[in-house]
Amino acid sequence: MRVIFSDAAHDWLNRAVGAAGSSLAVMPMGGATSSSLFRVERTGAPAAERYVLRVLDNREWLTAEPDLASHEAAALDEAERAGLPAPRLVAYADHDAGFGAPVVLMSFIAGAVELRPADFPAWLRALAAQLAAIHQCTADGFPWRFRSWVNRAALVTPAWSAVPRVWEHAIEFWLRTEPESRAVFIHRDYHPANVLWRKGAVSGVVDWINACRGPAGVDVAHCRTNLATMYGPAAADEFLTAYRVAAGGFTYDPYWDVDSLLDMCLTGPSYYPPWQEFGLGAIPPQVLRQRADAYLESVLRRIA
């Protein structure tokens, strides 16, 4: 869907940022796959003010979850109360405020996605420490709850894998009872392309639209699966070690790794387009498949 900024949309933006008497420049941003992102800059002020506008123009997603705008708005408020380095909510509209879809307007965080760090071990430790800090928040009153993204109807042994029996065992394991876990505030889509860096340190975590209360292991596993496909299984294991140190007392359960792998890789691990946009470089499909197989084998060894 092509986003068209109507007069009503510009009026909404001006009211939201208090820009009466000045103008706003709106520019597309990269890195988005499930919605459209725009950088909004206020001009005519002593110093430029910058914001990020998310237009929720994915009709299929919006049909399944019509409360997406209010969900992200509530998540940003929760993150602010917890003192987390997340964008601050400026305004949102669950209805069409002139953009053709619901919108969320938030503050802009300076920083950049870093996928080729000079010091990879230190980068992994900081990535893990930031996630552990998020999980310090329990968000007791937050109404959204974790639910698995695994499609039960698609639970068949993958034809692409070189080790189909391993995937068969993983499916059998996942179909057992979900483990009991303490619920905390989880980002639900924590991975390297949603973390911003500045001068070697984390400056922000973005894309909170899926945040909910659930097991910390869900976030850890989701990030591990991303790391395993991006860099190889060893990176995922290093991250887990770093997270355990940062979190203190974290009980690892491989169930969540299996849940994440079945969600992200069962139909075939894929190259996430923003990886290339942020400088990671192309990864051949065969390499992605080999990494997914090897990572699942390592997870099942932990179960054994």
Residue-level pLDDT at 33: 80
How high is the pLDDT of residue 34? 85
Multiple choice CATH, 7-107, 2.40.160.20, 3.30.200.20, 3.30.420.40, 2.60.120.1090: 3.30.200.20
- Across the chain, which distance is largest between two alpha carbons, in Å? 66
Domains of the chain by residue range: 7-107, 120-303
**Which pLDDT value is given to residue 21?**
55
pLDDT in tens, 43-61: 765 556 899 999 999 999 9
> For 150-161, what is each residue's pLDDT tens digit?
999 999 999 999
Q: Which of the two residues, 32 and 289, has the higher pLDDT score? A: 289
pLDDT tier for residue 136 given thresholds of 50, 70 and 90: very high
First to last CA, the chain: 47
pLDDT of residue 249: 85
Q: So what's the pLDDT on residue 284?
A: 97
Question: What is the rounded average pLDDT for all residues in the chain?
Answer: 94
Q: What percent of the chain has pLDDT over 90?
A: 84
Other beta carbons less than 10 A from residue 165's beta carbon = 9
Confidence (pTM): 0.95
Q: What is the pLDDT of residues 238-258, one digit of tens each?
A: 999 999 999 998 999 999 999
Report, as an integer, the average pLDDT of 204-224: 98
Q: What is the mean pLDDT of residues 63-90?
A: 97
Strand partners, 215: 183
Cα 207 from Cα 79, distance rounded (Å): 12
Q: Report percent pLDDT > 70 for the chain.
A: 96
From 21-25, 100-104, 170-174, the region with the lowest mean pLDDT: 21-25
DSSP 42-97: EESSSS-EEEEEEE---HHHHHH-TTHHHHHHHHHHHHHHTT-S-PPEEEEESS-S
The hierarchical CATH code for the domain 120-303 is 3.90.1200.10
Residue 139 reports pLDDT greater than 60: yes
